[in-house]
Amino acid sequence: MFGDDFPSIHELDSLASLILINQHFSLNYPRPLLPSIIEVGGMHVSREIKPLDKDFKDFIDGAKEGVIYFSMGSNLRSDQMAPEKIFAFAEAFAELPQRVIWKWNADTFPGEVPKNLKLAQWMPQQEILGMQIIFAIYMLK
C-alpha cells in the first residue's frame, strides 16, 4: 500500500523520536521511562461535564447500590456475541444489587431484559463516568 521502498515496522520502531502512551503515572506502577516517551493518559477526558439526559440521570439517581457501566468499546459489538454469552452476561447482571448500563448495539435484545439493566446504543460516557467521579469525591468529603 505504501510502496516497495517503505521501511519495515522494525525500522520504523527504531526511527521513532517521540512516543505518546495512553497511561498516567498516578494509575500505574512506577517505572522509568525514556525522555522520548510521554504519558498522555486522560487527555481525552473533558474538563466540562455536561448534564445527563433525564433518562440516564433518573436511572443512575435511582441506583441505591451504585451503577456499573459495561461497554466492550467500539471494536466488539455485544449484539454479535454468541447467544449463550449474551444470556450469561444478562443473568450475571440480574443477580447484582447494582444497576447496570450496557452499551448494546442493536434495536432488540434476545430475551427478557433484567430490571436492573439499561440497554443503549449510544451513551454519554464522559458524562456518566464524570458524574460518578464527582459523586465519589463528594462521598469522600
* Residue 115 DSSP SS3: coil
Beta bridge pairs of residue 119: 102
Per the structure, the count of domains in the chain is 2
Residues 83 and 110 in one domain: yes
**Ordered per-residue pLDDT tens for the chain, 141 residues:** 677 888 888 888 888 889 998 888 888 888 899 999 999 887 776 677 788 889 988 999 999 998 998 988 778 888 899 999 999 999 999 999 999 999 999 999 998 999 999 999 988 887 887 655 444 444 444
User: Which CATH number fits the domain that encloses residue 84?
Assistant: 3.40.50.2000
- CA-wise closest residue to 63 among 128, 126, 108: 128
Q: Is residue 46 part of a domain?
A: no
126 and 63 in one domain?
A: yes
Domain residues for the domain of 23 are 9-39
14 shares its domain with 78: no
Buried b / exposed e along 125-135 (16+ C-beta atoms within 10 A): eebbebbeeee
DSSP 8-state assignment for residue 105: -
Query: Can you give the pTM of this predicted structure?
Result: 0.64
Pairwise CA distance, residues 121 & 94, whole Å:
20
Indicate whether 60 and 35 sit together in one domain.
Answer: no
- Judge whether 44 lies within some domain: no
